[in-house]
Amino acid sequence: MQKHGNENCMGKLMTMSEAIARYVSDGAAVAIGLALEALIPHAAAHEMIRQRRQNLTLIGPISDILFDQLIGAGCVAKVQAAWVGNVSEGLGHCYRRASERALPRSLITEAHSNFTIGLALFAAAMGSPYIPTRSLLGSDIPRLNPTLRLESSPLDDSPVLLVPAIQPDVAILHVQRCDEEGNAHLWGNTGVAQEAMLAARDVILITEEIVAHQVIASDPNRVPGPFFKVRAVVHEPGGAHPAAVQGYYNRDHAFYHAYHTATRTPEGYQTWLDEWVLGVPDRTAYLAKLGEERWQSLRVTEHRYAAAVDYGY
């Protein structure tokens, strides 16, 4: 029987530590980092590392150092992704070490493209077993990823690639604002965030702001998905740093560069992890460590407000 809101009578608002403890178990299939380089729930990933999650499957298009960190910490058994690395710097050193030398552990990659990972999540959201596409025909990716099936279209016998549905156990989304029931507003690039929210069994929302129910209801077109799929709401301002949150703060490019430089060796990665993850209890301490001046330098200074919209009758 499906989960119901009544499991959440006690309320969905909780700390990051509670949300990860309750809704991300060892071995879980976790969709995270879904809006490409923006809105990446780095604070959630750091808490998974602090809680020493094991054997996770990570699902997402291009995870921009979040997957690399979890892989380096030994939390991950498998990735279902289009790209794993450091977007502005290049390779992900931890992903390389795990894939090439099984350090700190072996890793299975089920390779996708951005399109096929999106189609896989959309298929789950539609209750469809798979979606056929003409993309990746002639690519070796389907030969490396046995879940992708080359078939002929029953309509005209032409070649098609069948992309099977992927249903995450939990999708973790970073949003600009939501209420305590999990009604959220998400804007800017959305990548595959909505598809993942609709595909997942459980949803954890990490939010910059908690707002009144009425704020969300004033603009229902901005809502990524239904509140009743949301199990936990975590109020974590700055929780996406070093990724950008449209209208709140910009990407901290230097942080990605520093990570790239620091993690070239396993020892260097461990030092970085001790400093930025294991050595800080939570995101508040992380931001304090980052420093007020640096944090303020990332805040939005060029404000651009959306034109008025009337939902009246």
Partner 1 sequence: MEYTARELMVVCAARQIRDYERVFVGMRLPLLAFALARRAHAPHCAGLFESGTLRDAPSAELLYTMSDAPNITDSLWATSTLNVIGLMASGEIDLGFIGGAEIDHYGNLNTTLIGDWEHPTVRLPGSGGGADIASLARRLAIIMPHERHRLRERVDFVTSPGYGYPDAKGPAGSSWRARQGLPRGGPSALITTLAVFTFDPATGEALLQSYHPGSSIAEVQANTGWPLRLAPDCAATVPPTAAELDIIRASDPHGVWTR
Binding site for a second copy (CB under 8 A): 119, 126-135, 149, 151, 153-156, 158, 160, 162, 164, 176, 185, 187-188, 190, 211, 215-216, 218-219, 221-222, 244, 246-248, 250, 300-313
Residue 117 parent element (H or E): helix 114-125
Q: Which is nearer to partner 1, 25 or 246 (CB)?
A: 246
Q: Which is nearer to partner 1, 73 or 193 (CB)?
A: 193
Q: Which does 305 bind (CB under 5 to 8 A by kind): partner 1, a second copy, none?
A: a second copy
Q: Which is nearer to a second copy, 158 or 261 (CB)?
A: 158
Distance CA 191, CA 182 (A): 20
Q: Which is nearer to partner 1, 125 or 232 (CB)?
A: 125
Q: Which is nearer to a second copy, 4 or 303 (CB)?
A: 303
Distance CA 53, CA 70 (A): 9
In the block, residue with structure tokens 């009337």: 310
The torsion defined by the Cα of 30, 35, 39 and 44, in degrees rounded to 10, comes to 10
Three-class SS of residue 161? Answer: strand
Q: Which is nearer to a second copy, 1 or 155 (CB)?
A: 155
Three-class SS of residue 281? Answer: coil
Q: Which does 157 bind (CB under 5 to 8 A by kind): a second copy, partner 1, none?
A: none
Q: Which does 130 bind (CB under 5 to 8 A by kind): a second copy, partner 1, none?
A: a second copy
Q: Which does 263 bind (CB under 5 to 8 A by kind): a second copy, partner 1, none?
A: none
Distance CA 80, CA 174 (A): 20
Q: Which does 162 bind (CB under 5 to 8 A by kind): partner 1, a second copy, none?
A: a second copy
Distance CA 13, CA 179 (A): 9
Q: Which does 41 bind (CB under 5 to 8 A by kind): partner 1, a second copy, none?
A: none
Three-class SS of residue 311? Answer: coil
- The least CB distance from residue 285 to a second copy, in Å, is 27
Q: Which does 84 bind (CB under 5 to 8 A by kind): a second copy, partner 1, none?
A: partner 1
- The least CB distance from residue 294 to partner 1, in Å, is 16
Residue 121 amino acid letter: L
Three-class SS of residue 30? Answer: strand
- The least CB distance from residue 75 to partner 1, in Å, is 18
Q: Which is nearer to a second copy, 138 or 279 (CB)?
A: 138
- The least CB distance from residue 105 to partner 1, in Å, is 14
In the block, residue with structure tokens 């050595």: 279
How many Cα atoms occupy the beta-carbon half-sphere of 141 within 13 Å?
21
Distance CA 248, CA 94 (A): 30
- The least CB distance from residue 247 to partner 1, in Å, is 8
DSSP state of 243: S
Question: ω into residue 159 within 30 of 0, thus cis?
Answer: no
